[in-house]
């Protein structure tokens, strides 16, 4: 057993942070999975898996807040309103966020101290506010948070409640009369809310599985029905009976229902379940219709006019209007888990989500494609590529190959193509990778397919297929998860290594093929090319590159803060390599040695440290990072240079030294270009190669600071020249 030191301040440390919007980062999440809702003024607020949302009943508008708006977390479980009207939200990853009356956001990181180090964030499950005290149910127990003491601080945390087992996750909490009640998966406990020492388990009275009918003591929600305590579990609704004996008795028939929320409103008891809402008027039970609902509901609340609102588990906010549920969906991706991405010819970003279909994001608008609203036969979209004609090609994990063009979907399966799937179910074609070559041919894999089938090449114009099998002179494995076309060659990444097929421009004729197998024996998760022809590989063991023309493989050491399995690699317009790992993202300069930056949730608004894919728009400099928590976008300012270098630019401009500017960077300039800086009189100040000095430090060739004034710069690259000017103000 791990023994954790317990002191009042060391168990949970709360530090005050003010939220502020990041100008370079943008976050887009799926917020339709709402865990808890509260009503305040004319707004219905929701704690969601993708931030915090509110719906204005007056304006009929939905607003969403994420980490780039100042929130400390992104995955929120619970919500509450204090007596001053300020809102509180508890997150999965240890953030307690407070939204003041004027809209300011204050974040309190809630962490557990072990051995003197802050090494674990506490999961906050539920909140209950009583005057100036906020009671917090979390994965360490029950915490008493003083709202107005030192701008908010933890006073006490109870880890053991009565005879309940030590270190139970407390999932629900409620203040009822003079007591605070706390429920977990193995029972419920209560103590006086004025208890000066909640850490003492002897001050709590508890009920465990033996006290509940058939041992059903996994408490999900707690409420008061007049003077009676009522709890909901996965398969029942119980009330605490004190006469003639203290016992928990069944209340209504909920034996086959999962109770999610209990609410007492205007003499009636409302119970939200997986099958809908039931109402008890003191004598009989009735039900509210599910008409208009798509997914199940969880939390429920009433607004000031008496209208009922519900948090749905995937369809957004629901309001009960005129005996019908009305859904208010929140714009965003179909799921927060993004597998692969691609940018189409219009600049729109496409994303796959494995079990939730596809998302398209363009012009600040979201479109979702799934089996219920399009001709997709399944929602298992996994791989994606964009053809030169604008068609979107999607590989399904089990459903084969799709094409989307001009608003129509086409589908290839084992029934209408020579491709097939795994031995036990030939129809189950897992198209783990899809790639388009320079001739417009589509290359698609079939993971672990029967008979050693590796992949197929498809000409969509002539509807011609050619399939590749394992063999002694071809590839010797069929666990392909990554493909990249380069001229007349195809790079193939598998779970066991990297392979290269030279098809001589005739992929439908194996007679002139040549193979280079096992360039590297590593699990290849992703492949990318930089502007200099180097091939980059992401693998569980790290980052690798294959030198152009030599096929020599070298490994690049990752910074400690993003060390771990590399799941994605991409190259921007000037040759910087963006690397996505399970612990964050990093930017490597073209020298293959210097790390320009690293990004994690600790030092940036990155939504999640697990980066599944990185896609770069070379024209805009936007970096798209697909994560397990949604889509993060970083405006790098690094744009692809034009062919004639007519659009090179210096920034910042002007350079305001007194405001902290210490260097000049250059947009749309090739990495290997030579930059020369001149005064207005034509005197050369310094010349340097951008790959060796990525930004100018405002010093001349003698390492002396330059004077303020106007300067010109000249870019020389492969016989082409670009010019620009900027000002230095001291």
Answer yes or no: do 700 and 610 share one domain. Answer: no
- For 323-346, write each residue's pLDDT tens digit: 899 999 999 999 999 999 999 999
Domain that holds residue 191: 159-288
Q: Is residue 247 part of a domain?
A: yes
Same domain for 38 and 69, yes or no, is: yes
- What pLDDT is recorded for position 670? 81
Q: Is residue 246 part of a domain?
A: yes
How does pLDDT run across 212-270, given as a tens digit for each residue? 998 999 999 999 999 899 999 999 999 999 888 899 999 999 988 999 999 999 999 99
Predicted confidence (pLDDT) per residue in 273-311, tens digit: 999 999 999 999 999 999 988 888 999 999 999 999 999
Residue 616's Cβ-count burial label (10 Å; 0-12, 13-18, 19+) is: buried
Given a cut of 80, whether residue 691 has pLDDT beyond it is: no
Identify the pLDDT of residue 1.
22
pLDDT of 516 over the 60 cut: yes
Asked if residue 414 is part of any domain, the answer here is yes
Residue 23 pLDDT:
60
The pLDDT of 312-329, averaged and rounded, is 93
Domains in the chain: how many in total? Answer: 5
Confidence check: pLDDT of 105 > 80: yes
Q: Are 201 and 262 members of one domain? A: yes
CATH of the domain at 59: 2.40.128.630
Q: Is residue 520 part of a domain?
A: no
Element (H, E) at 409: strand 408-412
Assess whether pLDDT exceeds 70 at residue 686: yes
Residue 270 shares a structural domain with residue 197: yes
Residue range 128-174, pLDDT digits in tens: 999 999 999 999 999 999 999 998 999 999 999 999 987 789 999 99
d(CA 163, CA 201): 7
* Confidence check: pLDDT of 116 > 80: no
Element (H, E) at 286: strand 285-288
H or E segment at 168? none
Give the pLDDT confidence of 178-211 residue by residue, as tens digits: 999 999 999 999 999 999 999 999 999 999 999 9
Task: Decide if 417 is inside a domain.
Answer: yes
Q: Are residues 107 and 167 in the same domain?
A: no
120/251 same-domain check: no
**Domain assignment of residue 642, yes or no:** no
Same structural domain, 260 and 240? yes
Same domain? For 692 and 712 the reply is yes
In whole angstroms, how large is the CA radius of gyration of the chain?
A: 30
Choose one of 280, 303, 332: the last residue of a domain: 332
pLDDT of residue 115: 54
**pLDDT at residue 642 in the model:** 77
Residue 71: Cβ within 10 Å count: 22
Q: From residue 317, give the alpha-carbon distance in Å to each of 35, 161, 274, 590.
A: 10, 35, 16, 47
pLDDT band at 120 (very low <50, low <70, confident <90, very high): confident
Whether 21 shows a pLDDT value over 70: the answer reads: no
Boundary (domain end) residue, out of 491, 514, 537:
514
Residue 654 has pLDDT above 50, yes or no: yes
Tell me the CATH number at 251.
Answer: 2.120.10.80
CATH code for position 706: 2.60.40
- Say if residue 429 is in the same domain as residue 312: no
Residue 396 domain-assigned (yes or no): yes
pLDDT of residue 377: 93
Q: What is the CATH number of the domain that holds 559?
A: 2.120.10.30
Does 643 map to a domain? no
Which own/partner pairs from 192-197 qualify as long-range (CB within 8 Å, at least 24 positions apart)? 193/130, 193/133, 193/135, 197/156
**Whole-number pLDDT of residue 422:** 97
**Final residue of a structural domain among 481, 514, 547:** 514
Q: How many CB atoms lie within 10 A of CB 92?
A: 19
Dist CA 162 CA 631 (whole Å):
44
- 327 plus 338 within the same structural domain: no
Task: Give the Cα separation of 295 and 273 in Å (integer).
Answer: 12
Which alpha helices (DSSP H) does 281-363 contain, by range? none
Task: For residues 194 and 80, state if they share a domain.
Answer: no
What is the residue-averaged pLDDT of the chain? 92
User: What pLDDT does 641 receive?
Assistant: 75
Same domain, 611 and 700: no
In the predicted model, what is the mean pLDDT of residues 378-386?
97
């Amino acid at each position: 057993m791990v023994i954790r030191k317990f002191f009042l301040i060391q168990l949970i440390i709360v530090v005050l942070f003010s939220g502020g919007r990041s100008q370079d980062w943008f976050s887009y999440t799926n917020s339709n999975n709402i865990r808890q809702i509260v009503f305040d003024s004319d707004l219905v607020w929701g704690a969601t898996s993708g931030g915090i949302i509110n719906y204005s009943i007056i304006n009929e508008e939905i607003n969403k807040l994420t980490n780039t708006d100042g929130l400390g977390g992104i995955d929120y479980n619970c919500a509450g309103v204090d007596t001053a009207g300020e809102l509180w939200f508890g997150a999965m990853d240890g953030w307690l966020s407070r939204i003041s009356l004027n809209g300011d956001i204050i974040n309190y990181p809630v962490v557990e101290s072990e051995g003197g180090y802050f090494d674990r964030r506490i999961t906050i499950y539920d909140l209950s506010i009583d005057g100036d005290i906020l009671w917090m149910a979390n994965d360490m127990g029950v915490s008493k948070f003083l709202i107005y003491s030192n701008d908010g601080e933890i006073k006490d945390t109870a880890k053991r409640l009565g005879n309940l087992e030590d270190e139970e996750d407390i999932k629900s909490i409620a203040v009822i009369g003079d007591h605070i009640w706390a429920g977990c998966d193995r029972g419920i406990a209560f103590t006086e809310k004025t208890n000066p020492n909640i850490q003492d388990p002897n001050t709590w009275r508890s009920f465990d599985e033996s006290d509940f009918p058939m041992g059903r003591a996994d408490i999900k929600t707690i409420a008061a029905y007049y003077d009676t305590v009522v709890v909901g579990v996965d398969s029942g609704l119980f009330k605490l009976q004190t006469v003639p004996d203290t016992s928990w008795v069944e209340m209504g028939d909920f034996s086959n229902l999962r109770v999610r929320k209990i609410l007492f409103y205007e003499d009636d008891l409302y119970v939200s379940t997986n099958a809908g809402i039931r109402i008890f008027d003191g004598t009989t039970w009735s039900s509210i219709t599910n008409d208009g609902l798509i997914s199940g509901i969880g939390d429920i609340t009433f607004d000031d006019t008496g209208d009922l609102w519900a948090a749905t588990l995937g369809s957004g906010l629901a309001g009960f209007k005129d005996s019908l549920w009305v859904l208010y969906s929140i714009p965003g991706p179909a799921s927060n888990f993004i597998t692969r991405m691609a940018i189409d010819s219009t600049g729109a970003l496409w994303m796959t989500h494995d079990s939730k279909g596809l998302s398209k994001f363009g012009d600040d608008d979201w479109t979702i494609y799934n089996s219920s609203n399009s001709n997709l036969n399944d929602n298992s979209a996994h791989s994606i590529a964009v053809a030169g004609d604008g068609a979107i090609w999607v590989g399904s994990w089990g459903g084969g190959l799709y094409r989307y063009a001009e608003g129509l979907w086409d589908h290839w399966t084992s029934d209408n193509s020579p491709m097939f799937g795994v031995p036990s179910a030939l129809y189950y074609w897992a198209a783990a990778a899809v790639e388009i070559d320079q001739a417009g041919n589509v290359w698609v894999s079939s993971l672990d397919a029967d008979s050693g089938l590796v992949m197929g090449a498809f000409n969509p114009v002539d509807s011609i297929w050619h399939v590749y099998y394992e063999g002694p002179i071809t590839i010797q494995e069929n666990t392909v998860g990554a493909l990249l076309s380069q001229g007349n060659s195809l790079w193939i990444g598998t779970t066991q290594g990297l392979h290269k097929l030279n098809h001589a421009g005739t992929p439908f004729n194996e007679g002139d093929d040549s193979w280079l197998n096992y360039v590297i024996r590593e699990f290849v998760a992703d492949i990318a090319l930089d502007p200099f022809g180097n091939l980059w590989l992401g693998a569980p063991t790290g980052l690798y590159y294959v030198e152009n023309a030599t096929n020599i493989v070298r490994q690049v050491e990752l910074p400690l803060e993003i060390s771990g399995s590399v799941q994605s690699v991409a190259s921007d317009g000037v040759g910087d390599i963006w690397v996505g790992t399970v612990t964050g993202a990093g930017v490597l300069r073209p020298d293959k040695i210097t790390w320009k930056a690293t990004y994690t949730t600790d030092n940036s608004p990155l939504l999640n440290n697990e980066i599944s894919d990185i896609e770069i728009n070379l024209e805009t400099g936007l970096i798209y990072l697909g994560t397990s928590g949604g889509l993060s976008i970083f405006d790098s300012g690094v744009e692809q240079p034009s062919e004639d270098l007519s659009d090179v630019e210096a920034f910042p401009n002007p350079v305001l030294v007194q405001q902290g500017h210490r260097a000049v960077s250059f947009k749309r300039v090739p990495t290997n270009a030579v930059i020369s800086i001149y005064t207005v009189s034509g005197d050369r100040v310094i010349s340097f190669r951008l790959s060796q000095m990525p930004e100018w430090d405002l010093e001349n060739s003698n390492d002396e600071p330059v004077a303020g004034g106007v300067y010109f710069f000249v870019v020389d690259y492969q016989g082409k020249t670009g010019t620009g000017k900027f000002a230095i103000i001291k």
